[in-house]
Structures are given as structure tokens and as C-alpha cells.
Amino acid sequence: MSRKPSECRSASGRLRAFGVRPGETARVMWCCAHFFFLLAAYYVVHAIRDAMGLTGGLADLQRLFLATLLVTLAANPLFAALVSRFPRRVFVPAVYLFFAANLLVFFLLFRWRTGLHDIHLARAFFVWVSVFNLFIVSVFWALMADMFDLEQGKRLFGLIGVGGTLGALAGSAGTAALAHRVGEVQLIPVSAVLLVAACVCALRTMRLQTFRAEEAPLEDASRIGGRVFSGFTHVWQSPYLRGICLIIFLTTLSASLAYFAQGTIIEKLVTSRDRRAALFASIDLVVNSATILLQILLTGRIIRMVGVGWSLAILPLVFTLGFACLAAAPALSVLFAMQVIQRALVLGLARPAQESLFTVVSREDKYKAKSLVDTCVYSGGDAAGAALFSLLTGALGLDLRYVLLLFLPTMLVWLAVALYLGRQQQRRGKQQPCSA
């Protein structure tokens, strides 16, 4: 049933306090719903993935991160070919429905699992969910960067992120409550259904698109075109895109070290995979609760007040403090606090600021170069973090606290690149026509 005009005006009035302007309300609400279902679908299987990742032991995770990198490298040309050949109203839902079908296949395979095949299937599921997450989130934010300009991105991306955080909260809460009761595998079809709902919202969002003055009215129906490997060549040729690569690489490298510290502790204390899934989901629940408070109350204001560069620069400062505290007192409580604060800032502040960087690049780069950066560079940071952790703690036998201290000097590079990107984005934004 359609909403009454008075209800729409009421919703518009409430959203205006968060930076939404007249004419943007419907798009923002559908974008929030789109992101809600997308991250709910992922977080239903996120904790299951983490629990299955420990099936073969912590050392096995390092090989799984490398496998994820190899799969993303192989998948990117296929995605680029899809982008070149079809308009976004075709390739966006195609990606979502492909992953939804894969979820149902995994569900059937897990129902039929036996003996040693369980370990191999768990490994395959870990890699697949990792790739699934990277691609669906990359496609979502590419669509947002295509629909909104720089000024809108600064105002609205934090608010749109609230939809995703609520979805992550719902997904992790559901898994935490049900994984131990009904079994982790029974939740996989739920993720597929949520992904189909996200697909419906994506189509509705694109129908509501109002193009900027310089864009053709039927642009959504046209192909983006270009070469399959143009994402690779454009990243290689552009200092701006290379800077984004470095930011994402250092973010994931740092998060990977924190992840292995977490895995080391949980592997020793929790033996049941269902209980591990519930524990990981509980951590996700706290992180997402903190994230949504940040997104509602502070994200948009911080980005508008200090700019994208300093919004990105907050993260290396927080990681420096977190690693230093964990090195001084490597306790479970310190690890928990570090994970919550760092992950909340990554999702609640750094991610919206980072995604706004793509509002000032070409349409082709918003999908092809962004996909490369968000998947291959991201998984490359994970793989590098895994290899570094293995080298320092395994081959060299260093204690975790020394590993964290050795990594601190890279934070200065991270800080410098963040400020550089903020300046470059401002320069590019001045050359970008205002939104209609």
C-alpha cells in the first residue's frame, strides 16, 4: 500500500536532521533497505564462516586468506566483462542472485557432508563467503558512488551506512541466538532469501535514480563499456587510485593482525564450532551496536567538519593506540575492547569516508577499478597479514606483543596517504559539476 503524503513529509522532516534534502528521501530510504538486507545476508553466514575457518586450526587460516586472494584475482576479469557488456540494472542483480544460488548449493552440500569432506567443505565455504562479502559490498558502494556526487556522499553515506549496520546487527543477533539451537547450517538458506530481498531493493533504488545535469537521462539503460582489464590499467596509471589501494591494504593488514590475535585466544578457550559461531556472532553484535550509534550521531558531522582526509586519518591513530595497549597488556578484555573500537570506526567512519573517494572518479572506475581495489587489494591485505603473522610468530618465534609493536611505524605511512587522498578528493570535487 502506498504511503500517504503526510507520512512522506513526516519521514522527510525527520531525515532532514541527518542531512537529507528534499527530493532525496525516497532514494536514501531504499538505499538503507538495500544495504540492510545485503549485510543481514552476509552476517548470517559471517560467524559461521569464522567458526568453519578454525575447523582445520589457526594455521589453516593463513592458507585460506591466500586462497581468497587467488579467487578474487580470477573473479575480477569476469565481473569486469559483465560490467562492460550489460547495464547496471542487469549486472547488479545478476551478482546478487548468483551468490544467492551458491548459498543454496552450499546448504545442500553441508546436509550431505560426511567424514573428511567436512573439513574441505568448511574451507571452501570460508573462502567463498570471504569472496561473497567483498563483491556484494563493493557492488553496493559502487552503485552509491554512481548515484550520488561528492557533496551528497559526505552528507548521506554515513546515514546509508546505518541501514547496513542495522542489517549486520539483525544478522549477527539471529545467528548468535539460533546457531547453537538449530545448527549453523540451517541458517544458510536464510542468507539466500535476504540476498534476494536486497536484489529487489537494488532494482527499486535504480528506478528512483535522478541523474545529475551532465548525465544522459537513459544512462542506466546503457552499457558502461570499456575493456575487461581497464580496472587494472587505470589503477596502475592513477596516483589517486593507487593511494586508495594503499589505504585499503593497510586497513586490512592491520585488521588481519587483530583477527589472528583474536583467533589465537578463541581457539584455545572454545572447542565447539557451534559455540564459536555464537561467540563470534556476539562480538559482531557489540561491534554493530557501537557502529550504529557512531553512524547516527557522529559520522556525517565528522566528515563534513574535518573532511574526508582527517576522517580517514583517525583510523591509523586508533590502531596505533590499540596495538600499543594490547602489546602492553595482551588480555582478553583488552583484545575485546580493541576489536570493538577499531571495527566500529572502520565500519562507522572510515568506510563512508573511503567510499566517498570514488564519487570523483569515472563511471567505469566506479565499478571496475573499485571492484579490483575492494576485492583483490582487500584480500591481498588479509593474505599479507596472515603471512606476516605466520612469519613473525611461527618462523621467528616472536611473541604477539612484539609483532604488534613492529607494525606501528607503518601507521605513519597510512596517516600521510589519508591526508593526501583528502586533498586530492577536494581538488577533483571542485572540477565535478553540482548534483541536480
Model pLDDT for residues 113-149, shown as the tens digit of each residue: 654 457 788 888 888 988 998 899 999 999 998 888 8
| pLDDT for residue 197 | 95
Q: Tell whether 238 is covered by a domain.
A: yes
Q: Tell whether 215 is covered by a domain.
A: no
Q: 261 vs 37, which has greater pLDDT?
A: 37
Q: Tell whether 79 is covered by a domain.
A: yes
Confidence of residue 104 (pLDDT cuts 50, 70, 90): very high
What's the structural domain count of the chain? 1
Confidence of residue 239 (pLDDT cuts 50, 70, 90): very high
Burial of residue 104 (CB within 10 Å: 0-12, 13-18, 19+) is middle
| pLDDT for residue 58 | 60
Q: Tell whether 48 is covered by a domain.
A: yes
Q: Which residues contact 221 (CB under 8 A, 6 or more apart)?
A: 87, 89
| pLDDT for residue 215 | 43
pLDDT in tens, 323-362: 888 778 767 677 778 878 888 888 888 888 888 899 888 8
Q: Tell whether 11 is covered by a domain.
A: no
Confidence of residue 249 (pLDDT cuts 50, 70, 90): very high
pLDDT at 402 over 50: yes
Q: Which residues contact 89 (CB under 8 A, 6 or more apart)?
A: 203, 206, 220, 221
Q: Quote the CA–CA distance of 219 and 10 in Å, as a whole number.
A: 32
pLDDT in tens, 358-386: 988 888 888 888 888 888 888 888 888 87
Which of these ranges, 162-176, 235-249, 303-317, has the smallest mean pLDDT? 162-176
| pLDDT for residue 93 | 92
pLDDT in tens, 11-67: 555 556 566 777 778 888 999 999 999 999 998 888 778 777 666 666 677 788 888
Q: Quote the CA–CA distance of 88 and 82 in Å, as a whole number.
A: 9
pLDDT at 213 over 60: no
Q: Quote the CA–CA distance of 354 and 345 in Å, as a whole number.
A: 12
* Domain, as residue range, for 191: 23-210+229-430
pLDDT in tens, 147-176: 888 888 888 888 898 898 889 878 877 877
Q: Quote the CA–CA distance of 162 and 213 in Å, as a whole number.
A: 28
Q: Tell whether 13 is covered by a domain.
A: no
Confidence of residue 101 (pLDDT cuts 50, 70, 90): very high
Q: Tell whether 18 is covered by a domain.
A: no
pLDDT at 434 over 50: no
Q: Tell whether 254 is covered by a domain.
A: yes
Q: 268 vs 149, which has greater pLDDT?
A: 149
- The DSSP call for residue 360 is G
| pLDDT for residue 321 | 87
CA angle 433, 435, 436 (to 5 degrees): 120
Average pLDDT, the chain: 81
| pLDDT for residue 244 | 93
| pLDDT for residue 116 | 44
C-alpha cell at 137: 559490498
| pLDDT for residue 417 | 93
Phi, psi (degrees; rounded to nearest 5) at 384: -65, -40
HEC-encoded secondary structure of the chain: CCCCHHHHHHHHHHHHCCCCCCCCHHHHHHHHHHHHHHHHHHHHHHHHHHHHHCCCCHHHHHHHHHHHHHHHHHHHHHHHHHHHHCCHHHHHHHHHHHHHHHHHHHHHHHHCCCCCHHHHHHHHHHHHHHHHHHHHHHHHHHHHHHHCCHHHHHHHHHHHHHHHHHHHHHHHHHHHHHHHHHCHHHHHHHHHHHHHHHHHHHHHHHHCCCCCCCCCCCHHHCCCCCCCCHHHHHHHHCHHHHHHHHHHHHHHHHHHHHHHHHHHHHHHHCCCHHHHHHHHHHHHHHHHHHHHHHHHHHHHHHHHHHHHHHHHHHHHHHHHHHHHHHHHCCCHHHHHHHHHHHHHHHHHHHHHHHHHHHHHCCHHHHHHHHHHHHHHHHHHHHHHHHHHHHHHHHHCCCCHHHHHHHHCCHHHHHHHHHHHHHHHHHHHHHCCCCCC
The CATH number of whichever domain residue 169 belongs to comes to 1.20.1250.20
